[in-house]
Amino acid sequence: MPYTITYFSDDVQTDILHMPSGILADYLRIADLLEEFGPSLRMPHSRALSDGLFELRAKGREGIGRVFYCYLIGQQVVVLHSFVKKTQETPRRELKVALKRMNEVKNAFPR
């Protein structure tokens, strides 16, 4: 049974669609894999971060993009936040945004 991807907000979806074309193309390919394999999707495409937060790892000739997401009950994936990496390490503020949004989503849909 395939997983369904939804976005935290229209702004999150718009941010992803405005990523550089190579990164966007890789994200779309990996998103298809996520819909098919769900939590079975692992490195190099997806990585668990902490407390139910995951990242998709998109690459393109323009650089590296990260898309944070979480799972809800059933086959539901919620995309929380995205950014294009400019440094080796994930900036703390990007992680904080994703964690805050994940908490909002999880509180709205308690298990």
Q: What is the pTM of this model?
A: 0.92
67: exposed, middle or buried (Cβ count in 10 Å: 0-12, 13-18, 19+): buried
Q: Which amino acid is at 97?
A: V
Q: Which residues of 69-108 are buried (b: 16+ CB within 10 A; e: fewer)?
A: bbbbeeeebbbbbbbbbeeeeeeeebbebbbebbeebbee
What is the tens place of the pLDDT at every residue in 24-65?
999 999 999 999 999 999 999 999 998 899 999 999 999 999
Topology of the domain comprising 4-108: YaeB-like fold (3.30.2310)
- What pLDDT, on the 0 to 100 scale, is given for residue 111? 58
What 3-state class would DSSP assign to 30?
A: helix
* 70 within 8 A of 106, measured Cβ to Cβ: yes
